[in-house]
């Protein structure tokens, strides 16, 4: 048998290394950073700018001081540690003033701290009436509080002291969870509906009966609606229900609240709106305006596409007027103009005024975003809903809105993010927003006068965390709702 000649190689050769310039980091650099003269120049300029920034920023951050009583002390410490002429960040201002950045001038609950952690001294000083009673001279109270402040621990001062805003904040997540995550039990939505009243009571205090009686107004509305629905139809009975509720709030609210309070007195110490500040204020305004502006925006968007002349004209007029006016103008209207129209002494709350106008502002933008979503739906969807025999509201609820809202998610969320950041504009009407208001207060202290970047960086970081969180949630929601198999 002749020896067989091998014509074909039996095994593969090992692949050779690609040429150096066509592989790895070098290839990536050549393709992405140095692909031509223009890109090369831009890359070099970018590198220079980054280097310059880092050269200034890194030492400044490396020389940070956290423990100091004043800006001057910060400078001394930096000069002593890093030599004359060194610059450094003075985070001591954040360490000393963070409660104001978070809670503004919200009063700490010293009565609670005293009762829980300093029971003996509290009893010796005469208990609540002896320290916090109305008849007690301010000097006595201030001395007791100063003593308590000096001796209390961090948990006492900040967690117990601010238990009301902290509890309201934690419960906020419980309340929005069923809205954000559909996997949760649907019954939780009842808590979400009760939450605004609960949060109002926790934050502003006062008698518990005020929010309870206000909620009863909704019960009145529901009762009228259910009783009359069969005889008068949905729109008329809903309108009558609303009228009944408004009558309840106007005429029954005050006497019923007063009566219940005198029969069963129960409440928290009341807190004035001007004591709100910092992120507490931003979140109160932002969250309220966000949750109120979405339904309002949906109604406005539907109104704008309505066939009814009056509804359409009113919606278009509202949207175009509000969008045509800067937010600052609306805020000034809230704070200055309304005061002239109301009789003196009839002060309705500045935060409430601001919330209402910020809500209007956001609703006008949301309405346009949602109208974009509605316009993107193919006409067949509307016709299919009609063909199924659904009435207008059923069609909107079951067919149109779920699709339109899904399309609008990025726009809606960026409106919300913009709205949340816009809450800092309330500084111009004398409210203590975290960026300008509280920073102005901090800088007015001679210890911190002249500090510039640190408060801004601190407030900016917190804003970034919150806004980035919202943005991530919206991306998650978009992926979850994605059904188009594109």
Partner 1 sequence: MNKSVFLGTLSAAALAAGLAGAATLDDVKARGELICGVNVGLTGFGAPDANGNYQGFDVAICKAVAAAVLGDASKVKYVPTTGETRFTALASGEVDLLVRNSTWTFSRDNDLKFDFVAVNYYDGQGFMVKKDLGVTSAKELDGATVCIQTGTTTELNLADFFKANNMTYTPVNIADDAEGQRQYLAGACDTYTTDASGLAASRATMPDAENHIILPEIISKEPLGPLVRHGDSQWGDIVRWTYFALVAAEEYGVTSANVAEVAASSTNPEVKRILGTEGELGAMLGLDKDWGMRAIAAVGNYGEIFEANIGSATPIGLSRGLNALWTQGGLQYAPPFR
Per CB under 8 A, residues contacting partner 1 are 71-72, 75, 96-97, 100, 105, 107, 134, 137-139, 141-142, 149, 272, 274-275, 332, 335-336, 339-340, 343-345, 347, 428-430, 432, 437, 439-447, 449-450, 452
Q: How far is the CB of 127 from partner 1 (least distance, A)?
A: 19
Q: How far is the CB of 418 from partner 1 (least distance, A)?
A: 22
Whether the Cβ atoms of residue 290 and residue 363 lie closer than 8 Å to each other: no
- For residue 5, the number of C-alpha atoms closer than 13 Å in the C-beta half-sphere is 1
Beta carbons within 10 angstroms of residue 270's beta carbon: 10
Q: How far is the CB of 160 from partner 1 (least distance, A)?
A: 16
d(CA 156, CA 145): 13
Q: Residue 351 or 407: which CB sits closer to partner 1?
A: 351
> Of the candidates 186, 376, 394, 413, which has an alpha carbon nearest to the alpha carbon of residue 297?
413
> Of the candidates 105, 90, 158, which has an alpha carbon nearest to the alpha carbon of residue 434?
105
Q: How far is the CB of 248 from partner 1 (least distance, A)?
A: 24
Whether the Cβ atoms of residue 151 and residue 118 lie closer than 8 Å to each other: yes
Q: Residue 75 or 305: which CB sits closer to partner 1?
A: 75
- Residue keyed to tokens 């965390």: 465
Q: How far is the CB of 75 from partner 1 (least distance, A)?
A: 5
Q: Residue 78 or 244: which CB sits closer to partner 1?
A: 78
Q: Residue 452 or 468: which CB sits closer to partner 1?
A: 452
> Which H helix or E strand runs over 174?
helix 163-180
Q: Residue 266 or 452: which CB sits closer to partner 1?
A: 452
Q: Residue 97 or 304: which CB sits closer to partner 1?
A: 97
Q: How far is the CB of 78 from partner 1 (least distance, A)?
A: 10
Distance of CA 185 to CAs 124, 153, 162, 180, 452, Å? Answer: 50, 39, 30, 12, 48
Q: How far is the CB of 321 from partner 1 (least distance, A)?
A: 23
Q: Residue 413 or 441: which CB sits closer to partner 1?
A: 441
Distance of CA 57 to CAs 61, 122, 453, Å? Answer: 6, 49, 12
């Amino acid at each position: 048998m002749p020896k067989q000649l091998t014509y074909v190689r039996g095994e593969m050769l090992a692949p050779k290394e690609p040429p150096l310039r066509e592989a790895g980091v070098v290839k990536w650099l050549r393709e992405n950073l140095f692909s031509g003269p223009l890109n090369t120049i831009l890359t070099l300029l970018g590198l220079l700018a980054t280097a310059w920034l880092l050269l200034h920023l890194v030492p400044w951050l490396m020389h940070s001081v956290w423990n100091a009583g004043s800006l001057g002390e910060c400078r001394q410490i930096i000069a002593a540690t890093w030599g004359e002429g060194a610059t450094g960040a003075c985070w001591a201002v954040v360490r000393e003033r963070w409660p104001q950045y978070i809670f503004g001038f919200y009063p700490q609950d010293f009565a609670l701290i005293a009762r829980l952690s300093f029971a003996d001294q509290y009893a010796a000083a005469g208990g609540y009436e002896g320290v916090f009673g109305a008849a007690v001279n301010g000097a006595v109270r201030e001395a007791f509080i100063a003593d308590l402040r000096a001796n209390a621990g961090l948990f006492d001062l900040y967690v117990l002291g601010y238990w009301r805003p902290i509890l309201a904040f934690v419960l906020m997540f419980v309340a929005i969870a069923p809205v954000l995550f559909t996997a949760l039990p649907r019954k939780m939505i009842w808590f979400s509906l009760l939450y605004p009243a609960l949060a109002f009571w926790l934050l502003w205090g006062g008698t518990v009966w005020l929010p309870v009686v206000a909620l009863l107004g909704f019960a009145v509305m529901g009762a009228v609606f259910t009783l009359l629905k069969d005889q008068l139809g949905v729109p008329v009975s809903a309108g009558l229900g609303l009228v009944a509720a408004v009558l309840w709030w106007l005429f029954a609210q005050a006497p019923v609240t007063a009566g219940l309070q005198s029969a069963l007195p129960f409440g928290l110490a009341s807190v004035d709106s001007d004591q709100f500040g910092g992120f507490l204020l931003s979140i109160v305004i932002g969250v309220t305006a966000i949750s109120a502006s979405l339904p309002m925006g949906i109604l406005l968007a539907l109104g704008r596409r309505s066939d009814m002349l009056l509804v359409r004209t009113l919606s278009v007029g509202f949207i175009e007027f509000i969008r045509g006016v800067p937010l600052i103008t609306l805020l000034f209207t809230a704070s200055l103009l309304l005061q002239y129209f109301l009789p003196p002494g009839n002060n309705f709350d500045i935060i409430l005024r601001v919330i209402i106008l910020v809500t209007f502002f956001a609703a006008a933008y949301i309405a346009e975003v949602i109208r974009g979503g509605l316009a993107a739906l193919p006409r067949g969807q509307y016709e299919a809903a009609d063909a199924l025999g659904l009435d207008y509201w059923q069609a909107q609820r079951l067919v149109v809105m779920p699709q339109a809202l899904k399309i609008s998610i990025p726009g809606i969320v960026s409106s919300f993010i913009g709205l949340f950041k816009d809450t800092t504009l309330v500084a111009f009407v004398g409210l203590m927003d975290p960026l300008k208001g509280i920073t102005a207060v901090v800088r007015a202290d001679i210890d911190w006068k002249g500090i510039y970047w640190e408060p801004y960086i601190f407030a900016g970081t917190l804003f970034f965390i919150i806004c980035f969180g919202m943005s991530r949630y919206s991306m998650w929601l978009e992926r979850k709702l994605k059904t188009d198999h594109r």
